[in-house]
Amino acid sequence: MIEKALEQVGNCDRMVMGHTVQSKINAALDGKAWRVDVGASRGVIAGTPEVLEVMNVDGTEVVSVLTKSGKVPGSERHVMAMARFL
């Protein structure tokens, strides 16, 4: 389903989503779905701010998460799918 959705919105590589609060920025579906809402507002969970960084470095795409402690490779934030839906 993610492949079809990405194709329909303009042949994209990934989808970035907000309004689904997570404790930290993370990716699912082999990095095709990124959840970036860390609930930084005091009215939500007062989470620590993070930033998803996607850069083109000499023709190679580099995905990182910028945190208070430094830069984390995007590959370290991939999570396994919890369930499959038909």
Percent above pLDDT 90 for the chain? 73
The average pLDDT across 59-78 equals 94
- Encoded tokens for 2: 């993610």
pLDDT per residue as tens digits for the range 29-46: 999 999 999 988 888 888
pTM above 0.85, yes or no: no
The average pLDDT across 52-79 equals 94
**Total residue count of the chain as it appears in this document:** 86
